[in-house]
């Protein structure tokens, strides 16, 4: 049975801060943000928006463009790390909003949960719902998986320039028009880590930046090793002498806390996959230096990071590797298009890889690339920490969907905030009624709490025509 993504829709809030304004305010060279990080605009939620209304807006778009009715949907999952309640699941908020449009009780049959495992949870939600359909438990109904997040960091912190917000809603069906997932090869890795976490009551995360970045690379590599073993054992991929499994993956979409991290993730993976192949000698010759090895190759992440000599040499080698013709050929052909949206929106946590997929499809199509039967490899990571690697094949009917994709049109007209306005929103100094934009044909948050103690934290939303 072929199961996968039949279609998807996005929602991005209309406020943003420009990287040049941000760089000037923080005393940063703008080129560090544009080229070092890969950011031009960071999307920001307005005071009357949250992760739930972004999820509902993305889902409504998905339903409207596919002429879906509530009875067509059997499950609705929302994956997020921007939770609103320690008990009430976000999908219940979303269903409540959608029933303003489709009628009270219209979604009462659509079961589902809120999924949390930092940025990887959307992939677990997809996996769960794909198998729900494969098991024929769906009674001919589709599943909807929504990834929605607000990436917010402390003002003045190293993570402040990797913020963003947005949602992606995906329709999961049998015989999908867009992408069919490869079966029996999805691979996961999990470990208890404190690279990135947000304790109860804290609005912004605690981040061990260098540790988290290296852990991301290591965990995805481990999951990729497991994926490779399964892909070869099941006969999905057959390697010939001198080949890497990366040769059999046509396109890549990976977790994108920021654009440059995607480029680094690809470089790390290719080094891991190629260093024992004949091609590596040609690459080393082009680089002009031997690949460095840490003093304790089997040591902990802490010991590797503490090995200053290795870290400096490895950074030099990585930069040189990313200048080689071998790396650049793979990057331009297989990943570059997936990074375009990230530079215009910013970090989306759970939604970042799936916005990358959306970007990949649009910009590869605009290049004139034939996408039918191309295999996309996904490298998903969530701090705490877990990685999932899986793949899927683009289906013959993709053209009817991808030809109409236009990122700028779907985002819509955007309003640039000054640094002062941005900081007001960031510090929660404006109330719900003091929003920058009223909203049009979308759900917005209109009230939090009530006059009695039993209404504390109660959230109300309206659909604005």
Do 45 and 348 form a contact (C-beta atoms < 8 A)? no
| Maximum CA extent, the chain | 72
Mean pLDDT in residue range 73-80: 98
Continuous H helices in 118-258: 121-134, 209-233
* DSSP type of residue 248: G
457 pLDDT exceeds 90? no
452 pLDDT exceeds 80? no
* DSSP type of residue 32: I
Degrees to nearest 5, angle at CA 41 with 82 and 81: 10
Mean pLDDT in residue range 197-204: 93
The residue written with tokens 């009270």 in the block is 104
Cα–Cα dist 461/448, whole Å: 9
Continuous H helices in 44-112: 51-65, 90-102
What's the token pair of residue 317? 């080698």
**pTM (2 d.p.):** 0.97
What's the token pair of residue 273? 């996959």
What percentage of the chain exceeds 70 in pLDDT? 100
Pairing of the two strands 196-197 and 459-464: unpaired
Cα–Cα dist 76/452, whole Å: 31
What's the token pair of residue 201? 């009551």
Tens digit of each residue's pLDDT (9 = 90 or more) over 14-53: 999 999 999 999 999 999 999 999 999 999 999 999 999 9
Give the pLDDT of residue 299: 85
Cα–Cα dist 441/22, whole Å: 30
Hey, how many other C-beta atoms are within 10 angstroms of the C-beta on 130? 25
Cα–Cα dist 252/391, whole Å: 9
Q: How confident is the model at residue 308 (pLDDT cuts 50, 70, 90)?
A: very high
Give the pLDDT of residue 296: 86
Tens digit of each residue's pLDDT (9 = 90 or more) over 388-423: 999 999 999 999 999 999 999 999 999 999 999 999
Is residue 385 reached through a cis peptide bond, with omega within 30 degrees of 0 on the bond before it? yes
Is the CA virtual torsion 427, 431, 436, 437 positive or negative? Answer: positive
Give the burial class of 216: count Cβ atoms within 10 A of its Cβ; 0-12 exposed, 13-18 middle, 19 or more buried: buried
Residues 6+ apart with CB under 8 A from 456: 449, 450
347 pLDDT exceeds 90? yes
Q: Number of C-alpha atoms within 13 angstroms, CB side, residue 10?
A: 26
First to last CA, the chain: 40
Cα–Cα dist 305/291, whole Å: 17
Chain-centroid distance of CA 115 in Å reads 14
Among candidate residues 358, 359, 380, 384, the one with its CA nearest the CA of residue 125? 380
453 pLDDT exceeds 80? no
Q: How confident is the model at residue 434 (pLDDT cuts 50, 70, 90)?
A: very high
Mean pLDDT in residue range 290-295: 94
Give the pLDDT of residue 157: 94
Give the pLDDT of residue 298: 82
Among candidate residues 198, 216, 222, 223, the one with its CA nearest the CA of residue 352? 216
455 pLDDT exceeds 90? no
Chain-centroid distance of CA 377 in Å reads 14
The residue written with tokens 């965990």 in the block is 219
More confident residue, 296 or 344: 344
Do 4 and 130 form a contact (C-beta atoms < 8 A)? yes
Give the pLDDT of residue 454: 77
The average confidence (pLDDT) of the chain is 96
């Amino acid at each position: 049975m072929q199961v996968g993504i039949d279609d998807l829709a996005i929602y991005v809030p209309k406020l943003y801060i420009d990287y040049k304004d941000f760089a000037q305010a923080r005393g940063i060279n703008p080129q560090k943000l544009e080229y070092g990080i890969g950011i031009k605009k960071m999307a920001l939620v307005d005071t009357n928006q949250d992760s739930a209304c972004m999820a509902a807006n993305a889902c409504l778009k998905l339903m409207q463009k596919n002429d879906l009715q509530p009875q067509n949907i059997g499950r609705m999952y929302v994956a997020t790390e921007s939770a609103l309640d320690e008990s009430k699941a976000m999908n219940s908020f979303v269903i409540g909003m959608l029933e303003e449009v489709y009628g009270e009780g219209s979604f009462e049959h659509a079961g589902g949960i809120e999924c949390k495992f930092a940025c990887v949870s959307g992939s677990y939600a997809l996996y769960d719902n794909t198998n729900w359909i494969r098991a024929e438990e769906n009674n001919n109904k589709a599943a909807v998986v929504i990834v929605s997040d607000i990436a917010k960091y402390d003002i003045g912190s190293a993570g402040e320039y990797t913020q963003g917000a947005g949602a992606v809603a995906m329709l999961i069906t049998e015989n999908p028009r867009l992408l069919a997932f490869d079966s029996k090869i999805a691979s996961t890795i999990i470990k208890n880590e404190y690279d990135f976490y947000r304790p109860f009551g804290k609005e912004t995360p605690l981040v061990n930046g260098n540790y988290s970045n290296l852990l991301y690379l290591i965990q995805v590599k481990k999951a990729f090793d497991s994926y490779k073993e399964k892909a070869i054992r099941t006969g999905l991929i057959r390697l010939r002498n001198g080949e890497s499994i990366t040769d059999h993956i046509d396109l890549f979409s990976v977790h994108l806390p920021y654009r440059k991290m995607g480029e680094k993730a690809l470089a790390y993976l290719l080094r891991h996959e190629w260093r024992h192949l004949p091609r590596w000698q040609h690459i080393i010759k082009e680089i002009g230096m031997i690949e460095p090895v840490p003093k304790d190759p089997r040591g902990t992440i802490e010991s590797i990071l503490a090995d200053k000599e290795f870290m400096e040499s490895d950074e030099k080698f990585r930069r040189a590797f990313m200048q080689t013709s071998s790396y650049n050929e793979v990057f331009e052909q297989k990943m570059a298009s997936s990074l375009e949206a990230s530079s215009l929106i910013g970090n989306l946590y759970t939604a970042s890889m799936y916005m990358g997929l959306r970007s990949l499809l649009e910009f590869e199509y605009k290049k004139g690339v034939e996408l039918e039967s191309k295999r996309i490899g996904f490298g998903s990571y969530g701090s705490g920490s877990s990685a999932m690697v899986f793949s899927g094949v683009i289906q013959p009917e993709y053209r009817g969907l991808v030809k109409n994709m236009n990122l700028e049109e779907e985002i819509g007209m955007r309003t640039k905030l000054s640094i002062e306005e941005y900081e007001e929103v960031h510090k929660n100094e404006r109330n719900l009624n003091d929003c920058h934009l009223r909203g049009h044909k979308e759900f917005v948050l209109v009230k939090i709490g009530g006059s009695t103690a039993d209404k504390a934290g109660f959230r109300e939303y309206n659909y604005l025509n």
